[in-house]
Amino acid sequence: MSRLIESRTHRNPRLMLFHGAIVALVVVLASGLAYRQLLKTGLYTERERLQNLRRVVSPGPRGNIYDREGRLLVANRPRFSVVLDLAELRSEFRSEYKSIKRNYDALPKDERPNADQMERIARSTVAQRYLDQVNLILKRNEKIRSTELNRHINQTLLLPYVLLDDLAPEEYARLIERLPVTSPLQVYTSSTRHYPYNSAAAHTLGYVGINSDPEVEDFPGEDLLTFKMKGNTGRTGLEKLYDLDLQGEAGGAIYRVDPAGYKVDLPVEKRLPVQGHNITTSLDIDLQQAAEARMKDAEGNDRTGAAVALDVRTGEVLVLSSKPDYDLNSFVPHLTTAEAEKIAEDGAWFNQAIAGAYPPGSTFKILTSIAAMRSGRVTPDQPITDCDGAVMIGNKRFVCENGEGHHGEIHLAQAIAHSCDIFFYEAGRLATVDGLAAEAKRFHLDQRTGIELPGETGRMVIPDPAWKEKTQKERWYPGDLANMSIGQGYVLVTPLDMACFAASVARNELFTKPTILHHPNAPTQHAPPIGLTPAQRTTLLEGMEGATIYGTAKFFSTPNMKIPGVRIAAKTGTAQKRVVKDGQLGTINCAWLICFAPLENPEIAVAVMVEGENLGETFGGGTYALPVADAILKKYFEKKAAAANAPKLVNVTAK
Amino acid sequence: MFPKRFDQARPFVTLGIILLGWIFLPLAIKSFSRATFFEIQAPLIVADSFVRDLQTFWSNKAHSKEELLKAGQQVAGLIAEYEIVNQTNAHLEAEVLRLENLLNIPSLPDFRFEPARVARRDFSGWWSRMTIRKGSNYGIPVGAPVVFAGGVVGRVVEVHHYTAVVDLITSQTFRVAATAAGDTRPLSYQGGLNNSFSAPRGTVDFVPLDIYATVAAPKHLVTSSLGGVFPPGLTIGDITSLDPSADGLFKSGEVQLDPRLGTLTEVTVLVPLSPEE
């Protein structure tokens, strides 16, 4: 019987067909499987990798900025926050969701929230439960912001969710001690910019803004979905110019995630962030603070102005101050709208020291003196005019604004000391406009100094007839030369320019290249000599020193201002600037002072410019600018004396 | 009744059913069972501890009179020393109180000292936890600091009627706010990975960059009152190494703890007199 069935089975064509179809199907399946498993393996592995892995990029801390003596001007401050690791709460979210759903099931269907809403409620409830633990420890009453939490879960799930930010040290200590080590709640530290001297050198140091796109170099997984923690980027000042150096190397981590995006296990790849390079500036924070403290009015408000001090030998900037300014710490974590409006209202965004172009007033008379002496038409010991208080130039009457206005027949040194306008109208005329302009250009007063700071203006003007014709569409009048001779009219320079000019005159050279970076062994700068004979130079210095003894800067010799044992060469100045104040057009005075000391072997050069507060107010450079320069010089020589008296370390070599 | 093959597997099946039952039991019942089990076990632990005390007593009895006299003299010397220290402390306390009143600073939380005998220590978790012979019967609360003559021992994490479990300072789950001696900035101390019978150690994080420590010049680490659990100034250990963290904000390092922590027989629980929370 069985043989019969067997023989029938073997011969059944339909069964054979069925077997064939089965075989064909198996072959198709096996081929498909082989195609997927063998040929397409790479593709699916890649898809699985992209789906299962996430990359987190954390920025490196920025480098520090120091002053020339190694004091921290800009540092990173730890910022403690309490964060929630959402990946560990997944099961709690789920069970809370179920519980909420059960509760709502009792309501009619149309009154129930939808699944998405219930999920949001569940997340907020769980997070609030953890926040309540923190509230209990810190005695606070904080609430979860549901929208923010859900946005965080949807967009940056792998990053810790910050419950409370910028904790005080006591709060951080309490949490450290009371939160269980294994809790999803943890104390998290990040770094934020910190400015120990608040507003000191604010414009020079600059501030940072948020960089939401930090890049990590040579770290795998560029094609993976990447979450980036926010970092900082320099917006102004040194923070901006040296942003690439200060920026640390970002770190990264690659996590394996489950289908919902929650991380599982430890990172499969991790690189720690590295701090950026440090910068040592040439600033001396003691001098900077001394200058800024004196740039205030009687009510303690900032005057508008700038002060710059340079090391005469190296060109290193010791002080670069612009007022009004702002507290750099107010930019951390971000500047509020009210604070930004206040800064704008005060005009504090503007860096007066390098971006403000002003007429230099009588400080320019030093240049006029040099030009006149080099022309050979003015000699050190020959009076060139008789000052009786006024002179007609063209058809306009020019008065001597300084002193009593009746200087009589004086020679150059006295004219510099008393800042006699009539003398310099004549000296300018003798030097000629082209001679004056050429001399100013020799000193590079028409150029940017090239200091390593962003925002240095190029609006400085050394006028001549061609310039006036081109820009003002007017011819050059004799009165223009008279104005130019005393640093008024169209002449515009920055306070930094004038500090460089003072340093150049101090070294008896033509120009000074300022630098804001400190090099411990910086060589003395050298530029071509000015070209004055020894007698001419002596006359110039005699006039500048005379100013501090009996002339317009004689406040330097008063008991309060005098620096014992230090001879100072100075020149004051006053210029008028047209402004609109409280809806009224008028002029305000700009008080100037340039100086260097010690006279016999100059080390420090200073330029100060302070704007007057009221329209039409008249005052000289000695009133507002001199005390600022005096504060800088005093601090400088105090420190020098202290350093000289400090006990020295002696190397003892064993014999 | 059952086939022979099932009879053989019956113990495994029963065990499986019990395990399954245990897994699906409500959490409250599980916690209750565990606590009850501990309470049932507690008399045995305490009895075992008393037996060990008795053993020590008899071994001490075996000492000669001469040895006892010498020990007595040493004890008398120590007592005299402690008397002086006590008087100095009383003077300093009065001064602190005067300054607190003068500067209007709130007083630090006060504690009641509750001495307790160490009842048990597992070899598997030698540096993690210990059981002490006092519990809620002596008013010991969860979270109370535990100290000994050399400084911090740990913190009470479980309290039963007659016993309490202390999470040791050496345990990785122990964390406390600390300060370097002579500094006021808070640091974070945490227990380290400690093998049984090795020298105990822990780790310290968030150390400011201007604090330095080496094996040759260690930095003393003490508790900070900022955390609110421990009183200030209790010795934790000595920081023997510090390395800057990758972000350049802080240093992290290793803390060498008191080796006597491994042979403790007597500790003191600091019971807060006015619990905050």
Can you give the C-alpha Rg of chain B in angstroms?
Answer: 24
Contacts of A267 (CB under 8 A, 6+ apart): A253, A254, A255
- Domain A54-280 classified CATH 3.40.50.300? no
Can you give the C-alpha Rg of chain A in angstroms?
Answer: 37
Please state, in angstroms and rounded to a whole number, the distance separating the CA atoms of residues A118 and A272: 38
Q: Is A18 left (phi over 0), alpha (psi -120 to 50) or beta?
A: alpha
**Do A178 and B227 make contact, defined as CB atoms within 8 angstroms?**
yes
Please state, in angstroms and rounded to a whole number, the distance separating the CA atoms of residues A14 and A628: 112
pLDDT value, residue B242: 92
Count of beta carbons in the 10 Å neighbourhood of residue A293: 13
Q: B227 and B255: one domain?
A: yes
User: Between β-strands A225-228 and A53-58, what pairing exists: parallel, antiparallel or unpaired?
Assistant: parallel
Question: Count of domains in chain B?
Answer: 2
Mean pLDDT by 10 residues, chain A (655 residues): 51 83 93 86 74 81 92 89 87 91 86 88 94 93 91 84 89 89 85 90 92 80 80 91 90 79 73 88 96 88 93 96 93 88 91 94 95 92 83 84 75 92 92 94 94 93 93 91 92 96 96 94 91 94 95 90 93 85 81 95 96 75 86 96 76 44
Looking at beta carbons, which residues of chain A come within 8 Å of B246? Answer: 251, 272-275
* H-helix or E-strand spanning residue A74: strand A72-84
**Do B226 and A181 make contact, defined as CB atoms within 8 angstroms?**
no
Q: B208 and B164: one domain?
A: no
Q: What is the pLDDT of residues A275-296, one digit of tens each?
A: 889 999 999 999 999 999 999 8
Annotated domain spans of chain A: 54-280, 285-643
pLDDT value, residue B247: 66
**Do B173 and A181 make contact, defined as CB atoms within 8 angstroms?**
yes
Q: B221 and B138: one domain?
A: no
Please state, in angstroms and rounded to a whole number, the distance separating the CA atoms of residues A505 and A503: 5
Q: B232 and B105: one domain?
A: no
Q: B165 and B186: one domain?
A: no
**Which residue's structure tokens are 């050069």?**
A605
Torsion of CA A174, A177, A178, A180, to 10 degrees: 140
Query: Would you call A274 an interface residue with chain B, using a CB distance cutoff of 8 Å?
Result: yes
Q: What are the helix and strand counts (H, E) for chain B? A: 3, 12
| Three-class secondary structure of residue B76 per DSSP | helix
Looking at beta carbons, which residues of chain B come within 8 Å of A191? Answer: 247-249
Please state, in angstroms and rounded to a whole number, the distance separating the CA atoms of residues A592 and A618: 13
Give the rounded percent of residues in chain B with a pLDDT score beyond 90: 41
The answer to whether the predicted template modeling score (pTM) of the entire model surpasses 0.95 is no
**Do A61 and B249 make contact, defined as CB atoms within 8 angstroms?**
yes
> A199 vs chain B: nearest CA distance in angstroms?
23
Q: In this structure, what token pair is assigned to residue B88?
A: 């100095």
Q: What are the helix and strand counts (H, E) for chain A? A: 22, 20
Domain at B150, CATH number: 2.40.10.340
Q: B209 and B223: one domain?
A: yes
Looking at beta carbons, which residues of chain B come within 8 Å of A78? Answer: 206, 249-250
**Do B206 and A189 make contact, defined as CB atoms within 8 angstroms?**
yes
**Do B228 and A177 make contact, defined as CB atoms within 8 angstroms?**
yes
Q: B180 and B198: one domain?
A: yes
**Do A173 and B226 make contact, defined as CB atoms within 8 angstroms?**
yes
Q: B133 and B182: one domain?
A: no
Q: B267 and B154: one domain?
A: yes
> A252 vs chain B: nearest CA distance in angstroms?
13
Q: B125 and B182: one domain?
A: no
Looking at beta carbons, which residues of chain B come within 8 Å of A187? Answer: 188
Buried b (16+ CB within 10 A) or exposed e, A321-349: bbbbbbbbbbbbeebeeeeeeebeebebe
Query: Does residue B103 sit within a domain?
Result: yes
Contact A319, A288 (CB under 8 A): yes
**Do B228 and A174 make contact, defined as CB atoms within 8 angstroms?**
yes
Q: B108 and B202: one domain?
A: no
Interface test with B, best of A172, A177, A181 (most B CBs within 10 A): A177
Query: Does residue B11 sit within a domain?
Result: no
Q: In this structure, what token pair is assigned to residue A412?
A: 């150059």
Q: Which residue of B has its CA nearest to A58?
A: B247
pLDDT value, residue A646: 76
pLDDT value, residue A632: 96
Q: Residue A600 is which amino acid?
A: E
Q: B69 and B112: one domain?
A: yes
Please state, in angstroms and rounded to a whole number, the distance separating the CA atoms of residues A406 and A399: 10
Strand residue runs (E) in B199-250: 201-207, 219-223, 235-244
Contacts of A269 (CB under 8 A, 6+ apart): A219, A220, A221, A252, A253, A254
Q: What is the pLDDT of residues A350-362, one digit of tens each?
A: 999 999 999 999 9
Task: Identify the CA nearest to A402 among candidates A383, A422, A382, A385.
Answer: A422
Q: Name the maximum alpha-carbon separation found in chain A.
A: 152
**Do A60 and B247 make contact, defined as CB atoms within 8 angstroms?**
yes
pLDDT value, residue B2: 56
Q: Between helices A365-375 and A433-442, what is the axis angle to 10°?
A: 110
| Three-class secondary structure of residue A218 per DSSP | coil
Q: Show the domain range for B111.
A: 65-169+263-272
pLDDT value, residue B101: 85
pLDDT value, residue A471: 92
Query: Would you call A293 an interface residue with chain B, using a CB distance cutoff of 8 Å?
Result: no
* H-helix or E-strand spanning residue A8: helix A2-11
Q: In this structure, what token pair is assigned to residue A591?
A: 């008080």
Please state, in angstroms and rounded to a whole number, the distance separating the CA atoms of residues A514 and A314: 8
CATH architecture of A285-643: 3-Layer(aba) Sandwich (3.40)
Looking at beta carbons, which residues of chain A come within 8 Å of B248? Answer: 61, 76, 191, 248, 275
